[in-house]
Amino acid sequence: MRLVLLDQTGGATCTDGSKLTPEILTHFAEAYTIQMNRDYAPEYGGNFQTRVGASPTDLEAGEWPFAFLPTLEDAPGAIAFHSSSGNGMPLLYDGITLAATVNGPGNSASVAGSHEYLETAQDEGANVWCDDGSGNEHAREVADPVENRAYKVTCADGFVVWVSDFVLKAWFVPARVGPYSFMASQNLEPDGSQPLTTINGYQITRTADPSTEKSGMIVTVHGERKRRPDGSRRSRARGA
């Protein structure tokens, strides 16, 4: 997976007045590459490259865009989300003005960017669901259940970037024994008690509509999306 980070914020700032700079975005690219190859890939596989693009047209074949914008018009109130284009290309977005700060352990652009990177790598089309055996399907989103947890990645020059925690394979398998998250596996945070239950974040589930007049699926958000002030469900391209 080759991701290109694009600064299209136009100088927009986070709540604390901080903003993206070429230096910070370069550090994001380095830290995300470290996290994906060092922490994520041993569990899920893959090889990851991340760079900073000069403009929206600075994309080579096989590269996917990750645009940092002032706000996300397609997902009002959301700080970040991932989707896919009409031809199936993964698309990632981050709205800088709803982040508390550019880089930090809480509601930051750095953590939001890592969150969407992790989830796109696991589910490129944002359309995979996991059956829990009890009539519910859980979205295969690896960062949502631990959205409120983050850890540090140190770049080569010592610059520290905060990135999102993520759940491991065991979290998606009913009755599987943990650890269920990366941070728990590193003894950085306590873990959940069982698979497919929210640890420190939220999750999206769906179940068949019991109404005899409908044949669709009912989508439910469990837990509080602290990084999405209006409670928007648009973490991924899933319809309600």
User: pLDDT over 70 for what percent of the chain?
Assistant: 84
Task: Answer whether residue 147 shows pLDDT above 50.
Answer: yes
185-209 mean pLDDT: 92
Q: How far is CA 107 from CA 49, 103, 200, 213, in A?
A: 25, 9, 14, 41
**pLDDT value of residue 80:** 79
CB 2 within 8 A of CB 63: yes
**pLDDT value of residue 66:** 94
Question: Among 31-45, 89-103, 176-190, whose mean pLDDT is lowest?
Answer: 89-103
pLDDT digits (tens, 9 = 90+) for 70-104: 998 776 666 777 776 666 667 788 999 999 999 99
| DSSP H helical ranges for the chain | 22-34, 41-44, 109-122, 182-185
Task: Answer whether residue 129 shows pLDDT above 50.
Answer: yes
122-150 mean pLDDT: 93
169-177 mean pLDDT: 96
**pLDDT value of residue 216:** 62
**pLDDT value of residue 231:** 36
Task: Answer whether residue 116 shows pLDDT above 80.
Answer: yes
End-to-end CA distance of the chain: 29
Q: How far apart are CA 180 and CA 190, in angstroms?
A: 10
Structure tokens at 25: 């975005």
**How sure is the predictor about 208, in pLDDT bands with cuts at 50, 70 and 90?**
confident
**How sure is the predictor about 197, in pLDDT bands with cuts at 50, 70 and 90?**
very high
pTM of the model: 0.88
pLDDT digits (tens, 9 = 90+) for 8-29: 999 999 999 999 999 999 999 9
Per domain, the residue ranges of the chain are 2-223
**pLDDT value of residue 90:** 75
In three-state form (DSSP H/G/I as H, E/B as E, the rest C), the secondary structure along 127-168 is CCEEECCCCCEEECCCCHHHCCCEEEEECCCCCEEEEECCEC
Question: Among 59-63, 70-74, 86-90, 169-173, whose mean pLDDT is lowest?
Answer: 86-90
Closest by Cα among 176, 220, 180, 172 to 200:
180
Q: Please, what is the average pLDDT of the chain?
A: 87
**How sure is the predictor about 34, in pLDDT bands with cuts at 50, 70 and 90?**
very high
Question: Among 88-92, 100-104, 194-198, 224-228, whose mean pLDDT is lowest?
Answer: 224-228
Amino acid at 49: Q
**pLDDT value of residue 234:** 41
